[in-house]
Amino acid sequence: MVEEKIIIALDTTEKSKIDEIIKTFRDKNLIFKVGLQLFNNMGPEIIKRIKDSGNRVFLDLKLFDIPNTMIEAAKEMALNGVDLFTVHLLNGRNSLKGLREGLESFCNEKDLKIPEIVGVTVLTSFSSEDFHITFGGFSISKMVEELIVMANQAGIKTLVSSPKEIKLIKGIFPYVKLITPGIRPRDYIKKDDQKRVLTPKEAILLGADYLVIGRPIIKSDNMLKAYENIVKEIKE
């Protein structure tokens, strides 16, 4: 179903707004993305509130640390009921494999649902020029290719990437699940910090499995209608 492809990003820390969002989408079995700002503001409470509302949690903290620290953090996520969480693929193959195996072992021992590890390739805020300068001549596409091959070797089957890299990734690993931020509905013209964007329809046609959409929904005067319009736009 198209409805299941949309991940709503909770890009706010306003308690009243969070209340409104959760009430609007209660019991719809959607995925809500919780980022650094919101998690630092509310902590595990926001995870519990989302789970209690009949929805799922995508915790986007982009883990990038020594293996033991990441494994212990992932265990806490599993205990709190997190469904998916992000980790930077730049951690390297051995670290990623250790994280996956350590988390699976812990969850099996505790009879917990194993959270899905989502590998982050290149942040969507990078322009091609900025990336070239930062990484000494490496292109975004080349870096993405190197990272996804390593992720596959580590057993990471779900990735985050800019919509501009969907075709590249699906061409190499057609069965990988791809979460795609940087999605803007065709009538959403407000400028923001996303540099490499596509419309929801374009991203789905290219092969994206999930679309992360925040501001176009939660900053709308009618959030449910904005969400439904995006679903309609994809189906057209």
Both structure tokens of 70: 């990441």
166 vs 101, which has greater pLDDT? 101
DSSP state of 178: E
Q: Which residue has the higher pLDDT, 35 or 182?
A: 35
Q: Known catalytic residues? A: 62
Distance, CA of 142 to chain centre: 21
Sign of CA dihedral 151, 156, 160, 166: positive
* The predicted structure's pLDDT at residue 234: 87
Distance, CA of 27 to CA of 45 (rounded, Å): 18
- Tens-place pLDDT, residues 188-198: 655 554 555 68
Q: Which residue has the higher pLDDT, 159 or 138?
A: 159
More confident residue, 86 or 121: 86
Cβ contact 196:185 at 8 Å = no
Q: How far apart are the C-alpha atoms of 227 and 190, rounded to whole Å?
A: 17
The per-residue pLDDT for 88 is: 96
CATH number of domain containing 54: 3.20.20.70
Distance between CA 34 and CA 45 in Å, rounded?
11
Reference 18, options 218, 192, 214; nearest CA is: 218
Rg over alpha carbons for the chain, rounded to the nearest Å, is 17
CA 154 to CA 14: how far, in whole Å? 38
Distance CA 236, CA 231 (A): 9
pLDDT above 90 (res 54): yes
- pLDDT (mean) for 109-127: 91
First CA to last CA across the chain, in angstroms? 14
Question: Could you tell me the residue range of the domain that residue 138 belongs to?
Answer: 2-235
> SS3 for 9?
strand
* 130-143 pLDDT tens trace: 888 888 877 888 88
Does the pTM of the predicted model rise above 0.95?
Answer: no
Closest CA to 210 of 113, 87, 118, 140: 118
Q: Are strands 6-9 and 210-213 parallel, antiparallel or unpaired?
A: parallel
Residue from 43, 19, 9, 5 nearest 182 by CA: 9
CA torsion 98→103→105→106, rounded to 10°?
A: 140
Q: What is the total count of domains within the chain?
A: 1
Question: Which tokens belong to 215?
Answer: 């501001």
**pLDDT per position as a tens digit, 196-227:** 568 899 899 999 999 999 999 999 999 999 99
